[in-house]
Amino acid sequence: MSYGGTSMVTLMAGFGILMSIQTHRRLLA
């Protein structure tokens, strides 16, 4: 696996977690 692919996967994972947190905050608020 290339460095570019790994960074893309990490970016997508981080983005998914961020969106999940934002959604939970909206539901809790």
> Domain spans of the chain?
1-29
DSSP string, 4-25: HHHHHHHHHHHHHHHHHHHHHH
pLDDT tens per residue across span 3-29: 788 999 999 999 999 999 999 888 876
Two structure tokens written together for 5: 């692919």
Residue 24 tokens read as 């939970």
**Whole-angstrom Cα distance, residue 18 to residue 4?**
21
- Whether residue 1 has pLDDT greater than 70: no
Taking the C-alpha atoms of residue 20 and residue 22, their distance in angstroms, rounded to an integer, is: 5
Q: Which amino acid is at 29?
A: A
Indicate the pTM of the whole model.
0.57
